[in-house]
Amino acid sequence: MKNLHWRQLAVTLGACGLGLSAATQAMADVSTKISGYGTLGLTSIDEKGLEYRSSFSQAKGATRKPDFGVDSRLGLQGTTTVTPEFSATLQLLGQRRRVDDAVDSNNDMDINFEWAYAQYAPTSNLSFRLGRVVLPAFMISDSRNVGYAQPWLRAPLEVYGGMPLTSVDGAQAIWRIPVGPAIFTVQPSFGRSSYSISFGDVVLATRARNVKSLNLAGEYNDWLVRFGVVEGTSPLSAPILGFLDPSLTALPPVDFRMKDRFTSLGLQYDNGTALFMTEVARRRQNKLPSTGPALYSAALGGVPAALYDQYFADKPLAATTSYYFGGGWHFGSWLPMLVYGHSKDDLGLAKPTHSVSGSLRYDWANGVALKGQITQVYARDGTSFVYPDAATSNRRVNVYSVAVDFVF
């Protein structure tokens, strides 16, 4: 696809109908658009004893044996327009994602509504949505699951793997403000969401309440700059050490409400030939409580309370700073791209990790793209691996992936 503007394509595909929809006229003033997207991917790694995954919610991943579940997904979307002002959108998504917290569960494939909202747009630049809407945490949040809208095969997990929420049940407004050749967008959201995070055999499934987000974006010619902040509160319904040691999962839970704050800043340049993208993200959580009289002694299951005091008391469960930068160049229908990603634990409990990826995209036909990607990443990366190597491991793993992205 020569001289393709990725930002414009993502906006078109992520809005409603993915740009390749077939409209049917149900009534004189009511129309419905049905469209879809998907990725058929194959992934393997070159090391034993590890399972590579593409998100925190996957409880199993690719090994030396090729795996179809890491990157494959299928989405179907329908948008019904009642009047120019009123419409409703449903998007059904199937992908590998653990949604329950049972240790022995085999439910690794989830089919659910990613979007389900009604929209009122009094003007072309202002709209209000009510229902399940996208949570705009990144530059490509609107089209994050649409592989065809992305230049790479897989987004850098150092940044995109750190935010488990992708949608929110509540309300959202989108206000676009044209200023000469520039367009500014203000997008606030509020509601609640659910997510699951896998720590090996331990799966944390919970709900985030009081989710608040604000997305600010500015577009000028070939440039895009975006700032986003997401805040939410989740009950901690499992033993603290159970996240790290499955043998502790049956112990009494600690009553704690985790407050999470995720901020990100992104910049993109795309003139149809040259492409450059970068984002930096910070995640901060509130501090865990100090050691209690008897509760924490029981919750630690005989582990000395001093261990809790040393590693957990008055410290957040997560405090990270991550970023990536990458660039590519269009050669007709071909797009080679290099991306470097980095993540640092600001608590100093783990060594920094980084990855280097080389990807190649070929637009084979209208609506179909072939991709290949090689990524080298540290085995100790807990985001990329279901069972990461020891924290001191410097072992590097090569991840090989091929995929077919399509929209219809």
**Model confidence over 199-233: pLDDT tens digits?**
766 777 778 889 999 999 999 999 999 999 999 98
% of the chain exceeding 90 in pLDDT: 61
241 pLDDT more than 50: no
Q: If 0-12 CB within 10 Å is exposed, 13-18 middle and 19+ buried, where does residue 42 land?
A: middle
Q: Helix, strand, or coil here: 386?
A: coil
In sequence order, which residues have a C-beta less than 8 Å from that of residue 185 and are 6 or more positions away?
A: 174, 175, 176, 177, 215, 216, 217, 218, 219
Whole-structure pTM value: 0.84
Q: What pLDDT is recorded for position 44?
A: 98
Q: In the predicted model, what is the mean pLDDT of residues 279-286?
A: 92
Domain residue ranges in the chain: 39-71+122-286+317-407
Specify the length of the chain in residues. Answer: 408
Q: Would you say 344 and 372 are in contact if contact means Cβ atoms under 8 Å apart?
A: no
Q: Would you say 68 and 95 are in contact if contact means Cβ atoms under 8 Å apart?
A: no
DSSP 8-class letter at 294: S
**Model confidence over 370-380: pLDDT tens digits?**
999 999 999 99
361 phi and psi angles, rounded to 5 deg: -115, 140
235 strand-pairing partners = 257
Q: What is 39-71+122-286+317-407's CATH number? A: 2.40.160
Q: Helix, strand, or coil here: 122?
A: strand
Q: What pLDDT is recorded for position 254?
A: 53
Q: What pLDDT is recorded for position 396?
A: 95
297 phi and psi angles, rounded to 5 deg: -65, -40
pLDDT bracket for residue 106 (50, 70, 90): low
In sequence order, which residues have a C-beta less than 8 Å from that of residue 358 and are 6 or more positions away?
A: 336, 337, 338, 339, 373, 374
In sequence order, which residues have a C-beta less than 8 Å from that of residue 212 and are 6 or more positions away?
A: 188, 189, 190, 230, 231, 232
